[in-house]
Structure 1
C-alpha cells in the first residue's frame, strides 16, 4: 500500500500481509529487502510516514477480514456498522526511531478507543495529522497529534463533518447506508489542512490553532460524480489544489473517476477549473479490476517538489506524469504500466493477476517508487517532461 522513502530506504505498508517491510534502495537498481515488522493480530499497518528520523505507522482493525467483499467496505459508514464489535485488534499510531533507517526501533504508541487510524500526514516538526475512527463516530475524522515529546505523543484538536458524531446525537444529512463520509487524509500547507472525505468531498480547515480546527470551506460533487475523494494536494505558490477521486470498484462499477484541479485563490470558494486526461491508449475499463486514480505523489519536503509536474497512480493503468503548467489544460507527459503480477496476493473474492498500482513516491532526483497490491515494488526513473 503506502510507501515512504527515508535515508536510502523505503518503508512499505502491506494491504494483505499486515505489517510493513524495510527495503534498502541505496542502489535503486538493486533493491534489497532487509526485514519485515509484523502487525499485531487482526491489525493492519497499511499507511506510514517518515520524517525527522521518526517513522509513524498506523494501527487499525484489518477491515478486509470483516469486509471481504470490497463493495461493502466502500458503501456506508464503517463506524456505525462496527460499533458493537468486541475489540481484538490494536488501534492507534506506533512511533519508531529510524535514525538507523535499516532498523526501526519502536519508542512509543498513541492509542485510540475504536477502529484505529487510517492515514497520516507528518513531514517533521511538532505536529502530525491523522484520520481516526474513535468510538461514537460514523467513520474516520480529522485529528492532530502533538509530538513535542515523541516518546509521549498526545491527541490534540479534532474536526468532523456535521452528522458524523452519532455518539453525541448527531444525525447524517446523507444516506449513510449508501455513501461513505469518511476522512481519507489531509495534506497540510501552512495553517490550512486540505482534507479529503471520500463520498463527502473536500473541506479546507483552518488549523492556526491546532487544538481547535475550524472549517474554511466545503465542496462535494458526489452525486452526480461517484465520490471516493482520496488525496487533496495543495500547490501554494500557484494557489491551486489537485484532488484525486479514488476508483474503488471493478470494471468502473462506481463510474469513471477523475483528478480535478481547483482554483483556491479565495479559500472560502474553491472552484474546479479542469480535470486530468484519462489514460486511453487501450480500453482499461475492459482490462479488469480497478481503473482510475488512486493516489498522488504528495510533494513532501526533500522529495521531488513541483507545482507543474504531478504524478498520479491509476491502478490497472499504472503511474502517470502530468504537466499542469497550463492549469486549464493538463496534459500527460509520461507513463509506466507494470506487467501483470506473477501471483495473486489479494485474498478477496474476484482476485486476478491484473496490475493495481497503488502509491508513488518520487525522489528529488526523479527516481520513483511505486507499489502494487500483488506485484510488489517497482523502481523507475523520471527523466523530465521534454
Structure 2
C-alpha cells in the first residue's frame, strides 16, 4: 500500500479505493479472493503472494510462497478451504522463448522437448500443488499431483470432487484437457483426458497445425456435465464430461483463420443460454491483429452461434502505446464471488480494465473503464519490453469490489459505479 494512490490515465464509472505492490512483487497473473484475502500468482517473481484485503483501502501483503526452481506458479484456484496451484516449466525464463512471439506461434511441446520423452533434462517441477487455506494468510501445502512433462497451465475448480486443467504431458505437441479427482485432496489423481486429434505425437498422430499457430488448450470452464474449452488457435472445444474418465467431443468450432485465434476464455451464461468467448491479444502493437470478445447464442449445446462482438476502447491510441492492446482475460462468475449474466468484467492489457453490459446480447455496451498510469518499475525481464501497464486478471467479490492485477503495476482495488 502506498500513502498516495496511483493516478489513472483514464477512468470512467470506476474509482480506485486501494492499491498494493504485493510485498514488492507487483507482477501478477491469475487472481482469486478468498475470505478477505487476495491470492495472486506471479509471472516473474516466482511463486505466489497473499494480500489481506479485508480493509480494501489498506491492502497488506501477508505471505509469499516461493516456487520451486525454474518453475511457474502463475495460475491458481481458490475455493473454500482449498487452494490449487499450477507447477510448470517457467517458459518466460527459457531461452527458447526470450522472444515472446515464439511462445505464441509454435507448438510448445516440441520446443521444450516434452514430445521427445527423456531427451531433455528436467530442471523444473511439473504438476499441481494443493494447499489448505482455512487461514488464507498461512497457506499450508497438503498434497501434490506430479505429471510427466512441462506441467499444468491453468485449472478450473469450484469445489466438489473434480478439478479440470490444461496440461502439457510427455508425448503431446501442446496442452491438452485433463480431469483431476480431488476426492482425497492430499493425493489428487488424473482420471481423464482429451485432446484434438493430431496432438498425440508419441502415438504417431500427425499434427495439422499451420505454421505460426498454436493449438493448445488454455483452460476449460465447466457447467454441469459440459466443459467449454478455450483452445488458443484451435478455437472452442465443447466436451461432454458426464463420464469424467472418458470425455466426448460435442463440438469443435474454429474461426482462425480468418480471425487471429488465441481463444482464452469460454464462459457459459446458462440462465440466458449464452456464451462469452474471449480471444487473447498476444503480440505488441496488434501484430497478431484485432482480437475479439464474442457473444454466442448457446441455446443448443452442440451448436453455439456467434451473434455479436464487444466494442473496442477508442479514447486513446492504444496500438501505439506499446505492449499488448486487446482482450486478455475475463472474470469467470466464481460461485463464491459476484455472479452476473448481464455484466462482463474484462482486462484489455495496456487499455486497463473494462466493464460491459450485455443486457442486449446483440449490442454489448461498455459501461466503465479504468486504465492505470505508467508503472513505477518494469518487472518483466524479457528483452525489448516496454514499461507499460498490462492489466492481466480481474476478480469481482460478492460486494461488487473489483480486484485487478498487472504484469508490472500491482493490485488495484476498484469500485464499479456504472
Distance 1:270 1:85 in 2: 41
For residue 346 of structure 1, what is the aligned residue in structure 2?
Answer: 380
1:173 partnered with 2:208: yes
1:311 partnered with 2:310: no
Secondary structure at 1:337 match in 2: strand
Distance 1:320 1:88 in 2: 39
Distance 1:174 1:3 in 2: 31
Q: Check the 8 A contact 1:9/1:23 in 2, yes or no.
A: yes
Distance 1:364 1:218 in 2: 34
1:302 partnered with 2:336: yes
Q: Give 1:331 shift.
A: 0.3
1:29 partnered with 2:57: yes
1:109 partnered with 2:139: no
Q: 2:411 aligns with which of 361, 377, 381?
A: 377
For residue 152 of structure 1, what is the aligned residue in structure 2?
Answer: 187
Spell out the pairing of 1:257-268 with structure 2 (5 A cutoff): 257-268=291-302
Distance 2:120 2:300 in 1: 43
Unaligned runs of 5+ in 1: none
Q: Check the 8 A contact 1:52/1:125 in 2, yes or no.
A: no
Q: Check the 8 A contact 1:54/1:98 in 2, yes or no.
A: yes
1:95 partnered with 2:125: no
C-alpha distance after superposition, 1:104-138 (max 9, x if no partner):
00001000000000000001111100100000000
Spell out the pairing of 1:94-243 with structure 2 (5 A cutoff): 94-175=129-210, 177-243=211-277
Q: Check the 8 A contact 2:79/2:336 in 1, yes or no.
A: no
Q: Give 1:85 shift.
A: 2.4
Aligned length: 383
Moved more, 310-319 or 347-356: 347-356
For residue 42 of structure 1, what is the aligned residue in structure 2?
Answer: 70
For residue 357 of structure 1, what is the aligned residue in structure 2?
Answer: 391
The TM-score with structure 2 as length reference comes to: 0.91
For residue 71 of structure 1, what is the aligned residue in structure 2?
Answer: 101
The TM-score with structure 1 as length reference comes to: 0.98
Structure 1's consecutive aligned runs of 4 or more residues displaced over 6 angstroms after TM superposition are none
Q: Check the 8 A contact 2:34/2:80 in 1, yes or no.
A: no
Q: Give 1:350 shift.
A: 1.5
Q: Give 1:52 shift.
A: 2.8
RMSD: 0.8
Highest relative contact order (Cα 8 Å, sep 6+), 1 or 2?
A: 2
Q: Give 1:230 shift.
A: 0.3
Distance 1:31 1:12 in 2: 13
C-alpha distance after superposition, 1:179-215 (max 9, x if no partner):
1000000000111000000001001110111111111
Unaligned runs of 5+ in 2: 1-28, 114-118
